[in-house]
A and B are shown apart, each in its own frame.
Chain A
Amino acid sequence: DAGVIQSPRHEVTEMGQEVTLRCKPISGHNSLFWYRQTMMRGLELLIYFNNNVPIDDSGMPEDRFSAKMPNASFSTLKIQPSEPRDSAVYFCASSSRQGTNTEAFFGQGTRLTVV
C-alpha cells in the first residue's frame, strides 16, 4: 500500500481565501484523523472519523474549519476563510481498529502558509 496520501504537499494562499486539504487513507482502514502541528502547540487532534462518520470534532478551532469524509477512501479539511494564524502543517492519519490495536499511520502532511 502507498500509505496515507495527502495533497497538496504545500499550499500558499492569501488571507480570506478558501483552502481545501485532501487525504486518502490506507485501504481497509476505518478510522481517519486530522491533526495540526505548530511549533507553539505541537500536534493537536482536530477531528476524527470512524466508518466515515465524524465522532469527535471538539478539536476544530472555529466554524471556519470543516471536514468531510464522503467515502472510505477520501476526506477533506476545508478552511473558509483562511487566516494567517491557520499557518501550520496539517496531517492526516488512518488506522484499522481491531480491538485495542489501533496503530496509526500518518501522511506526509500539507504545509499551509496563509499570507
Chain B
Amino acid sequence: KQEVTQIPAALSVPEGENLVLNCSFTDSAIYNLQWFRQDPGKGLTSLLLIQSSQREQTSGRLNASLDKSSGRSTLYIAASQPGDSATYLCAGGGYNKLIFGAGTRLAVHP
C-alpha cells in the first residue's frame, strides 16, 4: 500500500529565499509523481507532473525531481515570493489513482 509523507509540515521564510520541500513514498512502483498547490478554501492546482521515466520537471521558478530508487521527490522553489504562500501537496500516482501526502504549509513573508 502506497504511503506518502511530506516534510516539513509547515515552513515560514522571508521573501527571496530558495526553498526545498520534501516528499517520500513507500512504493517505488509509481507511475508518476504530481505536485499541487492549494490556497485556503480553494481547490488543487497542478504544478508539475514527473512521469516515472523522468528525473525532473521545471516550470518557471519551480523545479521538481524524482528519485524512484530512494522513494523521494523534492520541489525546489527559487526566489520565493509572498504569492507563493499556500499548501503544497505531492501525490504518488499508481495505476489510475493518486495517493496524497499531508502537505507542507508554506508562508513567505515580505
Contact = CB atoms under 8 A, between A and B. Distances in A.
Most chain A CB neighbours (cut-off 10 Å) among B44, B45, B97: B97
Interface stretch (A61-69, A80-88, A95-103): A95-103
Interface string A20-44: 0000000000010101000000110
Contact of B100 (A42, A50, A97): A42
Interface residues of A, number: 24
User: Which label, helix, strand, loop or mixed, suits the secondary structure of the B interface?
Assistant: strand
Given A42-B103, A100-B31, A105 B46 contact: yes
Contacts of B93: 100, 102, 104
B97 A45 contact: yes
Contacts of B34: 103-104
B31 A108 contact: no
Interface string B17-55: 000000000000001101010000111111001011100
Contacts of A43: 89, 100
Contacts of A105: 46
Nearest to A97: B96
A106 B103 contact: no
Interface of B: 31-32, 34, 36, 41-46, 49, 51-53, 89, 91, 93, 96-103
Given A35-B100, A55-B96, A106-B36, 17 more contacts: A42-B103, A43-B89, A48-B97, A50-B96, A56-B96, A91-B43, A91-B44, A97-B96, A100-B32, A100-B52, A102-B31, A103-B34, A104-B98, A105-B46, A106-B43, A107-B43, A111-B41
Nearest 10 Cβ contacts at the A-B interface: A106-B44, A43-B100, A108-B43, A100-B31, A103-B49, A106-B43, A42-B102, A100-B51, A109-B43, A48-B97
